[in-house]
A and B are shown apart, each in its own frame.
Chain A
Amino acid sequence: MNKLNFLQPDKNNIYTYLYTGVILVAISIFIVFLNSFFNKDIVSFLPGPISFFLPLILGFIGLHLIRIDYSGLRFLDSINKNINTNNFNAFLSLLIVFVVIKSLPPLLSWFILDANIAGDSKDVCTGSGACWTYIKIWFNRFMYGMYPNAEQWRINLSFIALAFLGTIGFFATEKFKKYLTLYYVVVYPVIAFFFIFFFISGGPIFFDFSYGIIAAVISIIIGFFIPSKFKMYYFIIVPITLYILLKYVFFYEELIELGKLEALEWVETGAWGGLSLTFIVSFFCLIFCFPIGLFLSLGRRSDFPIIKYFSIGMIEFWRGVPLITVLFMSSVMFPMFLPEDMFIDKLVRVIIAISLFEAAYVAEVIRGGLQALPRGQYDAAKSLGMGYWKMHILVILPQALKLVIPGIANTFLALVKDTPLIFVVGLLEIVGMLNLAKTNPEWLGFAMEGYVFASVLFFIICYAMSKYSYNLEQKYKTER
């Protein structure tokens, strides 16, 4: 039996130290647990400050006693290595554990135990917890804004259809894989545009939408019989011609007749809102800002001085001003620049403004990727006799874009997080709707619930996006 030295626990009397230490730590956690969950202070007989710090002191001594190097016990070693390397770390670990235990009961009671979700009026919310009834009643408004309730299936249908079309890439067979880029860059955005601007907004232009769909279907069917050499020209020219023919030649009379019927009710963009508007705005800005940014970044590295300085000017201008002033510009200054009879929809103006703004950031990110490529890549491509565009499309951009996946993902994340700013021009997406609901005289005083709800939604969306971009980064990582 060796002498016990409590200042320097060692391996010889390991179980003595271990039991004393574990008991002390357990007591300290138990005190805090009782205090926070059952509101009982079992050490209240001690003077104030001592009873307050007692758990911390006990736990600290306990952790000190079990800090034994190379004890031979796997579990103990891993605890010591991870949370108990020295006095300072032990102290911080205890503090974190206590704070978590202490803050659990109030959080639990606010979120779940004392919260109300039943009923459909403010009167049921009498407890001290959250009033989820408020979220339940306003859920439709938070999701769809002022969009008429009876027409919301249009938004749902569009989003489901677009989500389905978006996942086609995962099911494509080898044969169609090579068209995927074309599909995602050109076809998909066009379809999305049709859906959102004609189907969701409805009204007479709904017929434009149907003609567009008919034209696309017919041209795809005929497309199978066209030699692949001409396919590209074919898909650019034929659908548009078909569409124009359908609209102005074949069905002109019918259009005029049907236009009066208004098969789908016209919903002006001012009524759009809620989370669906967040998705619409971020989706379009995402689609538009990428190509603009790509061209700006290429322009910035161009040999032509006018193009180069134009690109630099564009990039530095948009990067230098806050988004809110850009939106101010689009709402109060831009109409001054247009002829009096010309009117551009608020939503379109916002989408243009945000796209240009984010394009400048995308351009700088892509420029980073272009600069990171070794000169040899350019020289090799040129020595094969490739021109500027061929070199960039086949050699430079595939490598450069792969390098900047994280940067672009961050820019897109910033874009999604910037969409609430459109409240400046009077469009109310989810945060705007929250602020509107909060001021409703029947539902005063539930600001907290609304913001917590929106925070959770945004957190899920953005966190999923960042994890997905991380996966992409790992997937396309190539060793150099």
Chain B
Amino acid sequence: MNIKKILPQLLTLLVVILVFGFFSYNAQINMENRGITFGYGFLSQESSFDVQFSLIEYDGSHSYFRAYLVGLLNTILVSVIGIIFATIIGVVVGIARLSNNYLIERTAAIYVEFFRNIPLLLQIFFWYFAALRALPLPQDTEPMFGVFFLTIKGFFVPAFVWNNLDIFIYSIIAAIISIIFIRIYAKRKQENEGIQTPVLSISIGLLLILPVLSFLFGGVDASIEVPVIKQLSQSGFTYEGGIKLPPELISLALALSLYTATFIAECVRAGVQGVSKGQKEAAASIGLTPNQVLKLVVMPQALRIIIPPTTNQYLNLTKNSSLAAAIAYPDLVLVFAGTALMQTGRAIEIVSITMLTYLSLSISISVFMNWYNKKIAIKEK
């Protein structure tokens, strides 16, 4: 080993160790001065603060760990809603940008340019403080379709009341598993015998029939609970029953999906444009119908280009959901790195847990993406 190779590495290592040593030495002294001992034991202590909106049962008597879970679940909830809507809008706009209709193409382009060039935080503020504040009070609200109530206090939607919900879920899981098996079988059949099976219609049929069967024979029963207006005080009204989506959740999901959709639209456009024209012509010349060309030739190749950057956008959306802290939607950052940190003063532990949560999420997704990219990469002979 020559000195030229070892010296730079040793220097880097030395600097890193020195910086870390300096930091941890100071941290130790600072914590001693404040009388804090480092440790994660506080997670099991009673949190004694309340959270407005929670998916699991939670109040002040639960532990800090439970508060962490509440925040994490709220983050996941808004991310999932955002991802679903961003995908729908993004795909529609991406296809619209490829349209040969000048008006549609321009409209989609204006949408993309406009929403992409305005900071996400500004959009969240706009929806929360400006747009949703213009909604009517609960007592003045006109119901949409008789059951939905969009008010300044949130969006009230009817809830399903289930009997034997577990059997219904089992039926859906069974349908999904059988669809996977049918797909594998159909693929093998096509490779061996060249016969195509209508997988899509069979899948839709299974997804419809099995739940219906569970209703008929499994004792599953669902009724709808419509929100009803209720007077709290002289001028204070609210709705009872049903599900309440708080305005924070709505504005956050709206802003996240509209913003991320612009990026997804560009991914979709790039993907479809990335399939060369010769592929379509070649497919048409061997006698495939336009639908088959799209399904068997264009889409598989376009998806290969679309999926990796789109997953990246999903990840960005999840990370951007942390902006919730700005409008007091109780997500991971607000509940844990905000309220819990203020109460306990354990900056190092709490910030490190929050960062680790996001870090493990994004690293696991990028590991999965690397595996997926390797799997779908074109194998050159």
- Spell out A's residues near B (CB within 8 Å): 81-83, 85, 89, 92-93, 96-97, 303-307, 310, 316-317, 319-325, 328-329, 332-333, 335-340, 413, 416-421, 423-424, 431, 434-435, 438, 447-448, 451, 454-455, 458-459, 462-463, 466
A463 to B129, CA, bound (A): 25
Q: A93-B103, A324-B333, A458-B122 are in contact. List 13 more A-B contacts (CB 8 A).
A: A82-B103, A83-B103, A97-B103, A316-B359, A319-B362, A320-B363, A323-B319, A325-B337, A325-B354, A328-B337, A332-B341, A421-B121, A421-B323
User: Contacts A328-B351, A458-B117: A451 and B129 contacting too (C-beta < 8 A)?
Assistant: yes
A325 touching B358 by the CB < 8 A rule?
yes
Band of interface residues on B: 35 or more
Which residues of B sit under 8 angstroms from A304, Cβ to Cβ? 5, 8-9
Max count, chain A CB within 10 A of own CB: residue among B30, B113, B121: B121
| Residue of B whose beta carbon sits closest to that of A462 | B117
Which residues of A sit under 8 angstroms from B100, Cβ to Cβ? 81-82, 85, 89
B103 touching A96 by the CB < 8 A rule?
yes
Which residues of A sit under 8 angstroms from B323, Cβ to Cβ? 324, 421
What are 21 A-B interface contacts by the 8 Å CB criterion?
A82-B101, A85-B100, A93-B101, A96-B107, A97-B103, A306-B9, A316-B363, A316-B366, A321-B355, A322-B322, A324-B333, A325-B322, A325-B355, A329-B351, A332-B351, A336-B26, A337-B23, A340-B33, A417-B118, A417-B120, A454-B122
B333 touching A92 by the CB < 8 A rule?
no
Is B169 interfacial (CB 8 A cutoff)? no
A47 to B251, CA, bound (A): 38
Which residues of B sit under 8 angstroms from A455, Cβ to Cβ? 118, 122-123, 126
A421 to B124, CA, bound (A): 12
Is B325 interfacial (CB 8 A cutoff)? yes
Sort A-B residue pairs by CB-CB distance and give the 5 closest, nearest first: A462-B117, A337-B23, A82-B102, A322-B319, A320-B359
Which residues of A sit under 8 angstroms from B320, Cβ to Cβ? 322
A322 touching B26 by the CB < 8 A rule?
no
A92 to B359, CA, bound (A): 44
Which residues of B sit under 8 angstroms from A448, Cβ to Cβ? 126, 130-131, 134
Other-chain contact of A89, B101, B120, B347, B358 (Cβ < 8 Å) = B101
A458 to B120, CA, bound (A): 11
Chain B proximity of A404: nearest CB distance (Å): 15
SS class of chain B's interface: helix, strand, loop or mixed? helix
B359-372 Cβ-contact flags toward A at 8 Å (1 or 0): 10111001000000
Other-chain contact of B319, A89, A97, A321, A431 (Cβ < 8 Å) = A321
Chain A proximity of B374: nearest CB distance (Å): 16
A306 touching B119 by the CB < 8 A rule?
no
Chain B proximity of A104: nearest CB distance (Å): 15
A325 touching B333 by the CB < 8 A rule?
yes
Which residues of B sit under 8 angstroms from A459, Cβ to Cβ? 114, 117-118
A431 touching B119 by the CB < 8 A rule?
yes
A325 to B131, CA, bound (A): 27
SS class of chain A's interface: helix, strand, loop or mixed? helix
Which residues of B sit under 8 angstroms from A322, Cβ to Cβ? 319-320, 322, 333, 358
Chain A proximity of B136: nearest CB distance (Å): 16
| Residue of B whose beta carbon sits closest to that of A465 | B117
Chain A proximity of B347: nearest CB distance (Å): 4
- Spell out B's residues near A (CB within 8 Å): 5, 8-9, 12-13, 16, 22-24, 26-27, 29-31, 33, 99-104, 107, 113-114, 116-123, 125-126, 129-131, 133-134, 319-320, 322-323, 325-326, 333, 337, 341, 347-348, 351-352, 354-355, 358-359, 361-363, 366
Q: How many A-B residue pairs have CB under 8 A?
A: 155
User: Contacts A328-B337, A328-B351, A451-B126: A418 and B358 contacting too (C-beta < 8 A)?
Assistant: no
Which residues of B sit under 8 angstroms from A421, Cβ to Cβ? 121, 323
Other-chain contact of A458, B30, B119, B130, B133 (Cβ < 8 Å) = B119
Which residues of B sit under 8 angstroms from A454, Cβ to Cβ? 122
B9 touching A305 by the CB < 8 A rule?
yes
Which residues of A sit under 8 angstroms from B121, Cβ to Cβ? 420-421, 423, 431
A27 to B363, CA, bound (A): 59
Chain B proximity of A289: nearest CB distance (Å): 18
| Residue of B whose beta carbon sits closest to that of A313 | B16
A448 to B5, CA, bound (A): 60
Which residues of B sit under 8 angstroms from A423, Cβ to Cβ? 121, 326
A105 to B319, CA, bound (A): 39
Which residues of A sit under 8 angstroms from B27, Cβ to Cβ? 336-337
Other-chain contact of B12, A82, A307, A323, A335 (Cβ < 8 Å) = A307
B359 touching A321 by the CB < 8 A rule?
yes
Chain A proximity of B81: nearest CB distance (Å): 18
Chain A proximity of B42: nearest CB distance (Å): 16
Which residues of A sit under 8 angstroms from B351, Cβ to Cβ? 325, 328-329, 332-333
User: Contacts A322-B358, A420-B119: A340 and B30 contacting too (C-beta < 8 A)?
Assistant: yes
Max count, chain B CB within 10 A of own CB: residue among A93, A96, A328, A340: A328
A340 touching B29 by the CB < 8 A rule?
yes
